[in-house]
Chain A
Amino acid sequence: MSETKWNIILKIYRQKENEAPHYSEYKMEVDPDEYVLDAVERVWAFMDRSLCFRHACHHSTCGACGMRVNGVEKLTCITYIRDVTQDGATLKVEPLRNFPVISDLAVDMGSLYCRMDSVGARPVLPVTEAEIENPSNKWNPEDAKYIRLSDCIECGLCISACPSAATSSGYLGPAVLAGAQANGLKHDPALLELVDSEDGVWRCHSAFECTAVCPSFVDPARRIMNLRTQIVSERLSRLFRRKS
């Protein structure tokens, strides 16, 4: 934390049942090294107890506090105020796009969780399935007994940022397709029909916004492209298996 103090205006999207959406503005003094979520929480604690938002872990593990900060999807618990605004400026906070708003900044993420289940996305993986940046590093076979959390924290930022997801409610979305890719088509043949469809990998139009906003290095766009290669490979091998 620094000694510096900034005066900002926090402009927050508000929408309650049967109410037209509007923005509420809160003038506040902040430390620029605080996180955006800290400022939102302070509004709730000291200025407006009716403000509704989701948060839990405060260290980018639960994926609950995804919001749009000045128009860009951010995990607010790890987004420094210093990085998104300046002294005297307005900081706009809105709910994620492409998910129904329940109240104010809280959105219904149910569709994402159901779809993650539908592709069998695993929240916990053997450590040996973790991707290693340096291919010369190899896992030892005995490491297979250890498990780790999956990189995807199901925050929904990728789905909010995806322009294809904005116009198609049926589109599985980047996080779900990345979950399918991590499983691999060979392990689950039923997955092939699900992802090789109009609302599967072919709905992606290569905007790469998902990878740009992902706070957890899942790189959904790369995984979607890899899933396409897997699909073509699987389809071709099935074709030749049928003929032989």
Chain B
Amino acid sequence: METQRNRPSPSKFWSWFFPVGRQTGGWAYVLNRVTALGLTFYLYLHLIILSKLAQGPSAYDDFLAFIHNPVYTFGELLVVAAAFLHGFNGIRIVLTTFGVSVTRQKQLFYGLMFIAIIIILIFGIRMFTA
């Protein structure tokens, strides 16, 4: 007797985000998926926003005036954060794939995330003080 419950299955994609027992590399894996999903969602949102242009310049200008507030600015900062976290995490994957720093992938991850967070902070300060 074998149960189906414990077999691998595409429907188990939710387990990618299951936090219990994760090591550093596992958290990097989770972060890459969360940021990828966020950026994909933003891409479609961006296309919807651009479709305002089809309604004429005034409709687009009105929309830009509507989103000019701290809540939307924070949303834009999340997009920036997702882009840099995903991009720098991608550098970790490329480097380790080519055999660079494989045995020190944790330190590589922390170092790259530190750089990404510094850049995100700079963006945040500039976006909220502009």
Partners in one complex: yes
A209 touches B25 (CB 8 A): yes
Which residues of chain A are near B102, meaning CB under 8 Å? 221-222, 225-226
Known A-B contacts A15-B3, A102-B2, A222-B102; A206 and B8 likewise in contact (beta carbons under 8 Å): no
A35, CB-defined interface residue at 8 Å:
no
A166 touches B97 (CB 8 A): no
Point out which of B7, B13, B28, B98 has the most chain A C-beta atoms below 10 A from its C-beta. Answer: B7
A207 touches B9 (CB 8 A): no
Which residues of chain A are near B23, meaning CB under 8 Å? 208-209, 212-213
User: What per-residue 1/0 map shows which CB atoms of B1-34 lie under 8 Å from chain A?
Assistant: 1111111111011011000111111101100100
Interface stretch among A2-10, A91-99, A114-122, A184-192? A91-99
A165, CB-defined interface residue at 8 Å:
yes
Min Cβ gap B46→A in Å is 26
A207 touches B25 (CB 8 A): yes
A228, CB-defined interface residue at 8 Å:
yes
Q: How far is the CA of A71 from the CA of B98 in the complex (A)?
A: 31
B7 touches A169 (CB 8 A): yes
Which residues of chain B are near A206, meaning CB under 8 Å? 25, 28-29, 92-93, 96-97, 105
B92 touches A168 (CB 8 A): no
Q: How far is the CA of A108 from the CA of B1 in the complex (A)?
A: 10
A78, CB-defined interface residue at 8 Å:
no
How many A residues are at the interface, by size bracket?
Answer: 35 or more
Q: Which of B74-104 contact A (CB under 8 A)?
A: 92-93, 96-99, 102-103
Point out which of B20, B21, B96 has the most chain A C-beta atoms below 10 A from its C-beta. Answer: B21
Closest to A160 in B: B6
A17, CB-defined interface residue at 8 Å:
yes
A169 touches B26 (CB 8 A): no
User: What per-residue 1/0 map shows which CB atoms of A54-74 lie under 8 Å from chain B?
Assistant: 000000000000001011110
Min Cβ gap A219→B in Å is 8
The one of B5, B16, B93 in contact with A163, judged by C-beta atoms closer than 8 angstroms, is: B16
User: What per-residue 1/0 map shows which CB atoms of A39-62 lie under 8 Å from chain B?
Assistant: 000000000000000000000000
The one of B8, B13, B105 in contact with A208, judged by C-beta atoms closer than 8 angstroms, is: B105
Point out which of B8, B21, B25, B26 has the most chain A C-beta atoms below 10 A from its C-beta. Answer: B8
A103, CB-defined interface residue at 8 Å:
yes
Q: How far is the CA of A72 from the CA of B12 in the complex (A)?
A: 18
Question: Given A72-B20, A163-B15, list of 12 further CB < 8 A pairs?
Answer: A98-B7, A100-B2, A101-B5, A107-B6, A206-B92, A206-B97, A207-B25, A207-B29, A208-B24, A209-B26, A226-B102, A228-B98
Give B contacts to A, CB under 8 Å. 1-10, 12-13, 15-16, 20-26, 28-29, 32, 92-93, 96-99, 102-103, 105
Give A contacts to B, CB under 8 Å. 15, 17, 21, 68, 70-73, 95-103, 107-108, 161, 163, 165-169, 171, 205-209, 211-213, 219, 221-222, 225-226, 228-229
- List 16 contacting pairs A-B, 8 Å CB cutoff, sorted by A: A17-B1, A72-B21, A96-B6, A101-B5, A166-B8, A167-B9, A205-B29, A206-B25, A207-B28, A207-B29, A208-B24, A209-B25, A213-B23, A221-B96, A222-B103, A225-B99
